[in-house]
Amino acid sequence: MLEAVEIEVRFGGLTAIDRVSLALGQDEILGLIGPNGAGKSTLVNALTGFQKPTRGVVRLDGVAIGRWPADRIARLGIARTFQGVRLFQGLTVIENLAAAAIGGGLKRPGAEARGRDILAWMGLDGRDHQLAGALPYGDQRRVAIGRALALAPRFLLLDEPAAGMSDAECDALVGLIRRVPEEFACGVLLIEHNMRVVMAACRRIHVIDSGRTIAAGTPAEIQADRDVIRAYLGTKSEPGHAGR
């Protein structure tokens, strides 16, 4: 169980996250949505050691990990992707995945084998020896998910994985993400602007606005929630509209 308890993150006078609590099990996909600037990425940073919470506790199976360095948290099995992708551009695709598997404790041959398995699982095989930076944008995002999975994580935090993808690519991505909890025994926290992706992938959704939790529940409950409509969906012309 990965838990955030009353997390608060402040940058000087600005409160980016204001007492947000959430819990993620290893067998589920939790959606995290909110308008631009709501603090979604900051929350992911706080959960993964890239941002020390000003207050509150991050717990992994009851152990407080909020002050640990990011690489140590990753080795404990909390993997993440970045909005900005952040692949190892000058390395090949297989090296990208192998590096993460090595970070997770494997030796070189085992790391490459795991990388190849994951690439095959994602339908990215055949790209092994291409430079990651030379791939199309959508493939780079998928390789980034593959790199996170190469850590053999117990929790996977995806920060806008569908950004810039076509509807068909989004549907394929949802198909993959939905298989992660069962096939990798890994819980997923899915941050996404694209409602189509979130509603299709998650059975539970957490909504934040201006750093505060404003709603949590099933997709149907969230879509009917007045605060959510006001804060988020109301600003868009229709719920299915992609964030960018």
Partner 1 sequence: MAGPRTPLKWLETYSTPIALTLILVGVVGLTWASGAAVFAQTVTDTLIRIMLVVGLYIFIGNSGVLAFGHIAFTLIGAYGTAWLTLSVFKKSFALKLPLILAEHQYAVFPSAIAAALLASLVALVVGVPIMRLSGIAAAIASLAVLGMFHTFYNNWSGWTMGAATLPGLPLYVDMWVALGWVAFALFVAFAYQRSRFGLALRATREDEFGARAAGINIARQRLIAFVLSAFFMGLAGVLHAHFLGSIAVKSFWLGLTFTSLAMLIIGGQRSLTGAVTGAVVISGITEVLRQMEGGFTLGGVTLALPLGSQELGIALVMLLVLIFRPAGLTGGRELAFRLGRRRRADA
List interacting residues with partner 1 (CB under 8 A).
Answer: 48-50, 69-72, 74-75, 79-82, 86-91, 94-96, 98-100, 102-109, 111-113, 126, 128-130, 147-148, 150-151
**Min separation Cβ 200 and partner 1, Å:** 26
Closer residue to partner 1, CB minimum distance, 43 or 215: 43
Closer residue to partner 1, CB minimum distance, 96 or 194: 96
Closer residue to partner 1, CB minimum distance, 145 or 170: 145
Q: Using an 8 Å Cβ cutoff, are 59 and 2 in contact? A: yes
**Min separation Cβ 74 and partner 1, Å:** 4
Q: In angstroms, what CA-CA distances link 40 with 17, 80, 115, 142, 185?
A: 9, 13, 29, 20, 24
Closer residue to partner 1, CB minimum distance, 47 or 222: 47
Q: Using an 8 Å Cβ cutoff, are 157 and 82 in contact? A: no
Residue with tokens 């706080």: 46
Closer residue to partner 1, CB minimum distance, 103 or 217: 103
**Min separation Cβ 219 and partner 1, Å:** 28
CA nearest neighbour of 116 among 149, 89, 138, 140: 149
What are the structure tokens assigned to 37, written together? 């600037």
**Min separation Cβ 169 and partner 1, Å:** 20
**Min separation Cβ 90 and partner 1, Å:** 5
CA nearest neighbour of 14 among 210, 159, 231, 207: 210
- How many angstroms separate the CA atoms of 89 and 130, rounded? 10
**Min separation Cβ 150 and partner 1, Å:** 8
Closer residue to partner 1, CB minimum distance, 49 or 211: 49
Q: What is the secondary structure of 24-75 as a DSSP string?
A: E-TT-EEEEE-STTSSHHHHHHHHHTSS--SEEEEEETTEE-TTS-HHHHHH
Closer residue to partner 1, CB minimum distance, 105 or 240: 105
**Min separation Cβ 9 and partner 1, Å:** 17
- How many angstroms separate the CA atoms of 100 and 118, rounded? 12
For residue 110, give every residue at least 6 positions away whose Cβ sits within 8 Å of its Cβ, in sequence order, or none: 101
